[in-house]
Amino acid sequence: MSSEIASPHHAAHEHEGHSSPVVFGFWIYIMTDCVLFGTLFASFAVMRNAFAGGPTGHELFNLTGVGIETALLLLSSITFGFGALCAHAKNRFGLVSWLVITALLGAGFIFLEVREFMELIANGAGPDRSAFLSAFFTLVATHGLHVTFGLIWIIVMIIQSFSAQAFTTRYLGKLQCLSLFWHFLDIVWICVFTFVYLMSVV
């Protein structure tokens, strides 16, 4: 009889184990994203000098604006880390506050990126102007779409933090996956800033 009744500790241990496959599966997704961005970086490397008589990166890119974008995204990783610490401490107010700040920083990044795209297109430097600009818009916009999806995910996590799901193993597992995703986007952006913007200007 007793062998068929799981102890509370055993049940909790089994419940804890459910999050590991989810995180492992998300790592696999991150690896596929690495392949995607690796392909886009390789395409940009091939087309970086194919200007077709159009403007070059040195003529187009404003490192000051891109530097502000970079600072916003890097800072958002720090604020997300604070939110994760609050989640593990079961501090709902701290979690929500830091996630909101993270979302605002991410939204600021997207706003500046969209404004940059609009200015480039308005000046006749759209993605159809040259192979260089096609590769640039594809790479940077793909990263921007990922950040947008991340912002939607953050909003969902904020909403769920007010429900009965808050601070459960499942919730913390999803927050861990979001953390992996958000920090991954930071790493990709550092590569974009260095390889696309900085090397095109210097």
CA 198 remoteness from chain centre: 20
Provide the number of structural domains found in the chain. 1
**11 belongs to a structural domain:** no
- Residues making up the chain, counted from first to last: 202
pLDDT recorded at residue 5: 42
**179 belongs to a structural domain:** yes
Whether 2 shows a pLDDT value over 80: the answer reads no
Report the CATH number that the domain containing residue 164 is assigned in CATH.
Answer: 1.20.120.80
- Per residue in 58-90, pLDDT (tens digit) is 999 989 999 999 999 999 999 999 999 999 999
pLDDT recorded at residue 127: 94
Rg for the chain, CA atoms, rounded:
21
Model confidence band, residue 23 (pLDDT cutoffs 50, 70, 90): confident
Q: Contact at 8 Å (CB) between 178 and 157?
A: yes
**63 belongs to a structural domain:** yes
**34 belongs to a structural domain:** yes
- In this prediction the pTM is 0.87
Note down the domain range covering 166.
Answer: 22-201
More confident residue, 16 or 176: 176
Whether 123 shows a pLDDT value over 50: the answer reads yes
Q: Contact at 8 Å (CB) between 80 and 179?
A: yes
Q: Contact at 8 Å (CB) between 113 and 144?
A: yes
Whether 11 shows a pLDDT value over 50: the answer reads no
**15 belongs to a structural domain:** no
**58 belongs to a structural domain:** yes
**9 belongs to a structural domain:** no
